[in-house]
Amino acid sequence: MTMPNERSRAVVMTRDFLVALSRDSSLPEKIRHDAKFLLRHYPTLDDVILAGKIEEQSNYLLPLQGPVFSSSLK
């Protein structure tokens, strides 16, 4: 089972990967364009941390599931 901090870290690392793809001039333009397109709506580190904080403080919203994200990537 994936823990909230592992999920948060994976989302942040995926964003970093997409940024790297979008800037790699050795890749085809289509790949770079698609990475940029996906990044337009992809959460930032701050978004993930904020979502984690909100979920951790709002236990009553998802009492059976628990938080999806974590305010810590550790």
> 20 lies in a domain?
yes
Q: pLDDT class for 61, splitting at 50, 70, 90? A: low
> 16 lies in a domain?
yes
Its pTM stands at 0.83
71 Cβ partners below 8 Å, 6+ apart?
49, 52, 53, 56
Number of H helices, E strands in the chain: 3, 0
More confident residue, 21 or 69: 21
> 64 lies in a domain?
no
Q: By residue range, what is the domain housing residue 27?
A: 4-57
For helices 4-23 and 45-57, give the axis angle rounded to 10 degrees.
Answer: 160
The rounded distance, in Å, linking the Cα atoms of 3 and 7 is: 6
> 66 lies in a domain?
no
Burial of 57 from C-beta contacts in 10 A (0-12 / 13-18 / 19+): exposed
> 71 lies in a domain?
no
Total domains present in the chain: 1
pLDDT tens-digit map of 11-50:
999 999 999 999 999 999 999 999 999 999 999 999 999 9
> 18 lies in a domain?
yes
